[in-house]
Amino acid sequence: MKYEGVIQKTIHWIESHLHEQISVNDIDHITGFSKYHFHRIFQNSVGMSVSEYIRMRRLANAASTLLYTNERIIDIAVYYQFESQESFTRAFKKQYKLPPGRYRSVMKNISENKEEEIMGEKVKGWILSGSHPFNYEIGTDRRNIHQGKASGYLKSKTVQEPGEFATMMQEFKADKFRGERIMLSGFIQTKNVQQFTGLWMRIDSASDEILQFDNMNNRPIIGTNNWNRYSIVLDVPENSAIISFGILLTGKGEVWLDGLSFEVVDKNTPTTNFSVETILLDEPTNLSFEE
C-alpha cells in the first residue's frame, strides 16, 4: 500500500503508451526511483515485472483487435511494438495457446455466438445486489479486457437518483484466512462514473457483526479512467465467518473489473479498514443538551 500511488501512476503512463516504444529510462523518469528499486516494488505489488506487464497488456489489446477488426496480423504486430510477425506469433501463442490467425478464426465465432447471450445475463460466481440492482446490469465483456479473454462489467441502465447504487459481488467462507491479513487487488477501468466506484470487502462474524470493512470511499474512482490496479487490505479476525467482496457503483456510469486476486500479506502492510473508535463512558452525559 505504501507504493500504491507510484504503481498506479506508472501503470497509467504505460496504458497510454502501449503502442509506442517504452524504455527503462522512461519508467525511471516517471517513478523517480532507481531502476532496481522500483522494478522490485512493481514485481512484488503486481506479481510480474514491468516488461512482462507491458507485453501482457500489448497482447491483450492485440487479441481484442484480432477479434473485432479486420486489421492484418503484421499491422497489429507492428502497432504493438513487436519486431516482426514471427516474434508476435511466438509471444501470442505462448500467452493464448493459439497462433494469432487461428485465434482470430476460432474465437471470433465463439464471441459472435455468445456475446448477445452474455450481455446482461448472470455471470458465473457473481451476483448483482445493492439498493437498486434492477437499475444496473452486470455481464462479461470479451472486447474490453485487461488480461486473458474476458472482463466483468457493472453499468447503470435506468438510474434516476444520485444515491442509487449496485454491486457485482461474491461471498465465501473465511476459514482459509482466519488470523491473517489479506489483500484483495484487481484492475479497474471506468467510463463516465458520475459519483463513485471502487472495490469493497467486508469481514463478518457468524452473528453478522461487521468486523472489518473498506469500500474505497476515501479514495474513490470517478470519471473515465484507463485500466489501473487498486487494492484493499483487511485483517481477518479469528471469529470471522464470511468474506464478502466486489465492485461498487453509485449513480450513473460503467466500470470493468479484471484480474482479481487474494493474497496473504505481512503485518507491515497497513490495512485500509474503516475503523470507528468508540469510547464507553462511565455514566450518561449532557442529558439536558446544554453542554
Average pLDDT of the chain is 89
**Residue 82: pLDDT above 60?**
yes
Q: Which residue from 215, 229, 127 is spatially nearest to 171, judged by alpha carbons?
A: 127
- What percent of the chain is predicted at pLDDT more than 90? 71
Confidence at residue 23, expressed as pLDDT on a 0 to 100 scale: 85
15: phi then psi, degrees, rounded to nearest 5 = -60, -25
- The average pLDDT across 65-74 equals 93
List pLDDT tens digits, range 25-61: 888 788 777 778 888 889 988 999 999 999 999 999 9
Give the residue from 37, 28, 25, 23 showing the smallest Cα distance to 9. 28
CB burial of 33-60 (b: ≥16 within 10 Å; e: otherwise) equals beeeebbebbeebbeeebeebbbbbbbb
Phi, psi of 40 (to 5 degrees): -70, -40
Please state, in angstroms and rounded to a whole number, the distance separating the CA atoms of residues 208 and 137.
27
Grade residue 111 by pLDDT with cuts at 50, 70 and 90.
low
Residues 90-111: what's their mean pLDDT?
87
148: region left, alpha or beta (phi > 0 left; psi from -120 to 50 alpha) = left
Q: How far apart are CA 193 and CA 251, in angstroms?
A: 8
Low-confidence winner among 22-26, 117-121, 156-160, 278-282 (lowest mean pLDDT): 117-121
Q: Which residue has the higher pLDDT, 131 or 275?
A: 131
pLDDT band at 280 (very low <50, low <70, confident <90, very high): low
pTM: 0.85
Whether 93 has a pLDDT exceeding 70, the answer reads: yes
3-state secondary structure of 14: helix
Query: Cell match 494469432: residue?
Result: 100
**Whole-number pLDDT of residue 105:** 87
